[in-house]
Structure 1
Amino acid sequence: MLFSAIILSNTKSQSIFDMTLQCIESMIAAEKDNSDVKFEVLLIESNKQIHEVSFKFPEHVKVIIPTEDFNFHKFLNIGIKAASGDFVGLFNNDLIFQKNWLTEILKVKQQYPKVQSFCPVDYDSKFTPKTFFNGENYQFGYKVRRHIVGWCIIAEKSLFDKTGLLDERFSFFYADDDYSLMLQKYGQQHVLVANSEVSHLESKVSKELEKKKSAFFDDVEIPEKDIPRYIYTAQNRWMLERKKLLQGHIIFHKKWGNPKTVAIKSKLARIFIANGLGFLNKYFL
């Protein structure tokens, strides 16, 4: 089986290069005992001058440099379209893969052949303590940051023949939420796999990235007429300080409905999927 790993990176420093290399090496080494799996590594690189500097990835890594500026879903779509594998991994570059991470996902796939979307677990995350699974090897669900972790999604490539590619209006924020509702709309189940472990170094990412955060949140203008009234409530006013997050929030709810509508539709969609009626979801989601 060929697995296409799609990894997003912006290699602007030695520390980021080292982190990406560690991600690639741990991903392959963790599956060295599984001779049935071969890896294709597609690095979608934001640094358009990477070939002019000293950062050289191994020959088995195919570096793709989009002409466009960074857009999370657009860059993942470039990887999906270039992928040759039966499965694709949609990965951040700040990951460390633990032994048999893919083997454990394939075990669940064998048990549930129709399931095409999976996530591993990071037990250092506050959202998924080991007690979350109650002794089970997996959990079905669509909760973002719990069942769906956008930094590491594994899917059969044929899933996107059913759902279409990722919505490129989501340049970063609310991309996970959109993926969740996309699965529900097309009646597709998603599984979080307890024995597939991947460590996410989110809190340990280099200081170069941290310095860019404020600009990343604020460098967009949103017309006041586009901002929903509920954003000005005490509970939601904090979004006004994070403009790109607010932009993602507005795009998401223009697409799927206001927060209350989304909650109702999602609950109904999950009931339909659980009862084998997920094909109806595309008519109301």
Structure 2
Amino acid sequence: MKHRTEIDIIILSFAQTDALKQVTIDCIHSLMASEDPGEIKFNVVVIESQKDLKPYQYENSTTVYSDQPFGYNRYMNIGIEMTSSPYVCLCNNDLIFHQHWATEILKPFEEYADLLSASPVCSIHHPKMDFELNSGLKLGYRIRHEVSGWCLFFKREMLAITGKLDENYKFWCADNDYANTLWVLKIYHVLVTSSIVDHLENKTLINQTEEVQDQLTEKEVFYLQKKWKPRMGDGWVLMN
């Protein structure tokens, strides 16, 4: 009997409205419908920031309402620490998973023993960046190119090298820091163009006030620069 592969899926949600709640529901629905459960088992943890939804549980998930202040990496670390499968996938809630995305993203990990990190392709975004679907593996560390910050897939063993995610990042630049960390530690990362997960782009962020958006975005850049420029010099920090 073939062994079933288990993948821990960590999803951050902020269901301030019924529409945003539905975004998370649709995300999980597409995930669960994407693979044969006899082949791949998804262990879904949703970290929900809308505290008054408690004790609501999204279907096919363990839904957590943390008493800690919001931080993108802080909440992802909570989900990582709750789980134990050999593969971890960190996800925005505004995603739609296509059929066999996980089967496809697992293939290079099975072929290349030294591969530790990957991202799926977005059929909406990546063709605009000159990436064709089903055009092979793309090695690289560029944000919104090879590194899809909305969906990061890696072997759990990678964390023994990188340590946990840097919780100084509240929202923006978390993916820049992830990419920089992989680069400096010489950890391979690929975009898997046969694994398709569509990103619906900032469904939660655009519902925040300008002040909150500023706190979650531009202010993060200063910390990124403070952390990486002394190590790598001006112009090195991966911002695009």
Pair in the same fold by TM > 0.5: yes
Write the distance in 1 (CA, Å) between the matches of 2:122 and 2:21. 22
Q: Confirm whether residue 158 of structure 1 aligns to residue 162 of structure 2.
A: no
Name 1:245's counterpart in structure 2: 217
Q: Confirm whether residue 15 of structure 1 aligns to residue 19 of structure 2.
A: yes
5+ long unaligned stretches in structure 2: none
Name 2:211's counterpart in structure 1: 215
Name 1:195's counterpart in structure 2: 194
Q: Confirm whether residue 40 of structure 1 aligns to residue 43 of structure 2.
A: yes
5+ long unaligned stretches in structure 1: 220-243, 267-285
* Higher mean displacement: 254-263 or 97-106: 254-263
For residue 202 of structure 1, report the CA deviation from its aligned partner: 1.1
Write the distance in 2 (CA, Å) between the matches of 1:68 and 1:192. 33
For residue 161 of structure 1, report the CA deviation from its aligned partner: 1.2
* Higher mean displacement: 42-51 or 88-97: 42-51
For residue 130 of structure 1, report the CA deviation from its aligned partner: 8.2
* Higher mean displacement: 253-262 or 19-28: 253-262
Query: Aligned letter for 1:210?
Result: I
Q: 1:29 to 1:248 in 2, by over 3 A?
A: same
Write the distance in 2 (CA, Å) between the matches of 1:141 and 1:73. 22
Q: Confirm whether residue 6 of structure 1 aligns to residue 7 of structure 2.
A: no
The higher relative CO (CA closer than 8 Å, separation ≥ 6) is in: 2
- SS in structure 2 of the partner of residue 79 of structure 1: helix
- SS in structure 2 of the partner of residue 30 of structure 1: coil
For residue 264 of structure 1, report the CA deviation from its aligned partner: 4.9
Q: Where do residues 216-231 of structure 1 align in structure 2 (5 Å cutoff)?
A: 216-218=212-214
For residue 139 of structure 1, report the CA deviation from its aligned partner: 0.4
For residue 114 of structure 1, report the CA deviation from its aligned partner: 1.2
Write the distance in 1 (CA, Å) between the matches of 2:207 and 2:139. 37
Query: Aligned letter for 1:163?
Result: T
TM-score, with structure 2 as normaliser: 0.89
Q: Which has the larger radius of gyration?
A: 1
Q: 1:120 to 1:246 in 2, by over 3 A?
A: same
Superposition RMSD in Å = 2.4
Write the distance in 2 (CA, Å) between the matches of 1:28 and 1:96. 11
Write the distance in 2 (CA, Å) between the matches of 1:262 and 1:111. 37
Write the distance in 2 (CA, Å) between the matches of 1:134 and 1:200. 15
Q: Where do residues 169-188 of structure 1 align in structure 2 (5 Å cutoff)?
A: 169-188=168-187
> Size of the alignment, in residue pairs?
234
1:133/1:139 contact within 8 Å kept: no
- SS in structure 1 of the partner of residue 171 of structure 2: coil
Q: Where do residues 90-105 of structure 1 align in structure 2 (5 Å cutoff)?
A: 90-105=90-105
Structure with greater strand share of residues? 2
The percent of aligned pairs where both chains have the same amino acid is 31
